[in-house]
Amino acid sequence: MKSVNLNGKWQFKSGTRQKGRAYPGPRRVNRSDRLVQWMSATVPGTVHTDLLANRIIPDPFYRMNELEVQWVDKEGWDYRREFVVTPALLREESIELVAEGLDTYATLILNGKPAGRSANMFIAHRFDVKRLLRKGTNLLKIHFDSPVQRTNALEKKHGALRVALEPPRVYARKAQYSFSWDWGPKLTTSGIWRNISLQAHSGAVMEDPFVKTVWVSAKEAIVEVSVRIRDFENPLTLSATIQGKKSRIRAEAVVNGKSAKFRMKIPSPQIWWPNGYGDQPMYALTLALRDGKKELQKLEVPFAIRTVRLLQEKDNEGKSFIIEVNGVKIYCKGADWIPCDNFIPRIADATYEKLLRMAKDAHMNMIRVWGGGIYEQEIFYDLCDRLGLMVWQDFMYACGEYPETPWFLEEARAEAEQVVRRLRNHPSVVVWCGNNECEWLFCTENPTKGPDDMNGSPIFREVLPSVCRTYDGTRPYWRSSPFGTGFPNDETNGNHHQWNVWSFWKDY
């Protein structure tokens, strides 16, 4: 596998404005033609941080400057960069443009020809671009449509839904908080917000490795190792090595299809525990794919051995709601995690480490990744693995009804499949959750109706649990937070959100 990193220095300009024409917005922007000229940009980044760096907009977090930048999300934006392709790269059988995060409505043009489109901020996109590349200098342009105009158009076409805050936002597979929330400003971003690169290879490629704990006891653990194999031709040899602090196990198999799966036994396994209940030992799986003596690819996958269950047993109030890890009931203590900056690409790894270590030092053992934000960066989950912070992982839906048209349901399924495959090896992730507060708000506003009457309910009732069963099966799925039998925010069963103290000034 060969890779060409396309991060770093780019250029950007308005993809909407014309030179000399007046537009609504701040006077000093209208009087300038700078927005129609190519300016320096940084990738990963956002259009807001690029405008800040070029001194086009003021700091939106200072005083009332948020109001001065509300024109930004109504613009389209163009990004471009040149890069060099060598003859050696062009000789590879497959060359893909891999964009790990495009925010959100993107059209990609490579050397003047269409290369692909994106309409989902949360997932990576792969585009076959070998036919479009040429030896030497190449030009990649990415146009981002205005997220506000696109969502408004979708709402107009498909109809308004019952949604808190900005109703059109639910049509966009984009961080919902960026349209404004009770805790933060309205800064609806666009841009290349995660890594972008060219990836080239000849022959088979491994994808989506998974280490699934099948059985564990003090004497032995059995894990199931699986991996998908793409561009497969000849029978290949796959070797797997599991390395722990006290053990090293190796297995080998002949691959004759598009996937491989086999079981391995780990003697005297070291078990992963939440903070306060034990240590967090990690294992390393190394997969090597060979064609004869030629090594085609090697993958390394950190994982841990642990089991998790959700216990709902009858008690004197109704039913319990208890996370059990390795057969032990865990007293969960933690906090809700929202993105720690509106402009995610400028969050340093050190910031993640500082905040999550503060959580551990405060004796927390659970962090809930809230459904109005993002599926977090890889460093977040790596740190939670190491620190023993269990992760309650919401899917990215919050506080509203969602479309249930076929195209949206298919987008929801594709997104969930990629997210589950990406995060399932992290022992810290202990719960998949469908959304934040959607059913509760719907049933509060419609007391004669139930959760299944809500627009979008098939996503949370059918699509997401099906994906979690198919691609994971090692941790529970919970439909929403809050949710339970009967009224979604009942205090006698399921999980409960207590807003009376914060919202209504009730005595604790």
Q: How far is CA 155 from CA 11, 163, 167, 168, in A?
A: 32, 12, 8, 6
437 is catalytic: yes
- By C-alpha distance, which of 238, 233, 268, 234 is closest to 250? 238
Same domain, 120 and 152: yes
d(CA 180, CA 278): 40
Residue in the structure block whose two tokens are 């993107």:
106
Q: Is the pLDDT of residue 442 over 90?
A: yes
d(CA 201, CA 203): 7
Q: Is the pLDDT of residue 359 over 80?
A: yes
Same domain, 194 and 210: no
| Number of domains forming the structure of the chain | 3
Q: Give tens-digit pLDDT for 461-470.
A: 999 999 999 9
Question: Is residue 22 very low, low, confident or very high in pLDDT (cuts 50, 70, 90)?
Answer: low
Q: How far is CA 388 from CA 244, 277, 365, 376, 433, in A?
A: 18, 9, 6, 17, 20
Question: Is residue 29 very low, low, confident or very high in pLDDT (cuts 50, 70, 90)?
Answer: low
Q: Is the pLDDT of residue 24 over 80?
A: no
pTM for this prediction: 0.96
Specify the pLDDT at position 21.
Answer: 63
d(CA 221, CA 474): 14
Examine the fold and report which residue of 303, 338, 373 is the final residue of a domain before the chain moves on: 303
Residue in the structure block whose two tokens are 């024409």:
21
Examine the fold and report which residue of 168, 200, 232 is the final residue of a domain before the chain moves on: 200
The backbone torsions φ and ψ at residue 222, rounded to the nearest 5 degrees and listed phi first, read -115, 125
Mean pLDDT (whole number) for 445-460: 98
d(CA 339, CA 174): 13
Specify the pLDDT at position 31.
Answer: 47
Q: Give tens-digit pLDDT for 363-376.
A: 999 999 999 999 99
Specify the pLDDT at position 1.
Answer: 83
Collect contacts of 166-170 with beta carbons under 8 A, ≥24 apart: 167/400, 169/400, 170/397, 170/400, 170/401, 170/402, 170/403, 170/456
Tell me the longest C-alpha to C-alpha distance in the chain. 76
Examine the fold and report which residue of 182, 200, 218 is the final residue of a domain before the chain moves on: 200
The residue type of 105 is: Y
Torsion of CA 46, 367, 434, 303, to 10 degrees: 90
Lowest average pLDDT, out of 21-25, 70-74, 209-213, 422-426, goes to: 21-25
Q: Give tens-digit pLDDT for 162-178.
A: 999 999 999 999 999 99
SS3 46: coil
Q: Is the pLDDT of residue 32 over 80?
A: no
CATH of the domain at 386: 3.20.20.80
Same domain, 183 and 218: no
Task: Tell me if 470 sits within 8 A of 432, measured CB to CB.
Answer: no
Q: Is the pLDDT of residue 492 over 80?
A: yes
The percent of the chain in helix, strand and coil, each rounded to the nearest 5, is 25, 35, 40
CATH of the domain at 250: 2.60.40.10
Same domain, 264 and 393: no
Average pLDDT of the chain, as a whole number = 95
Specify the pLDDT at position 502.
Answer: 86
Domain that holds residue 440: 308-504
CB-based burial of residue 71 (10 Å sphere; 0-12 exposed, 13-18 middle, 19+ buried)? middle
Q: How many residues does the chain have?
A: 508
Q: Give tens-digit pLDDT for 200-258.
A: 999 899 999 999 999 999 999 999 999 999 987 789 999 999 999 989 999 998 998 88
Same domain, 112 and 171: yes
Same domain, 195 and 208: no
Per annotation, catalytic residue among 401, 411, 437, 439: 437
Same domain, 190 and 230: no
Specify the pLDDT at position 234.
Answer: 80
Query: Residue 294 has which token pair?
Result: 């030629």
Lowest average pLDDT, out of 23-27, 228-232, 426-430, goes to: 23-27
Question: Is residue 497 very low, low, confident or very high in pLDDT (cuts 50, 70, 90)?
Answer: very high
Same domain, 316 and 442: yes
Same domain, 193 and 216: no
Q: Is 508 or 119 the better-scoring residue by pLDDT?
A: 119
Same domain, 245 and 353: no
Mean pLDDT (whole number) for 388-417: 98
Q: Is 12 or 504 the better-scoring residue by pLDDT?
A: 12
Residue in the structure block whose two tokens are 């509203």:
400
Task: Tell me if 187 sits within 8 A of 59, measured CB to CB.
Answer: no
CATH of the domain at 45: 2.60.120.260
Q: What is the DSSP letter of 483?
A: B
Same domain, 160 and 110: yes
Same domain, 238 and 381: no
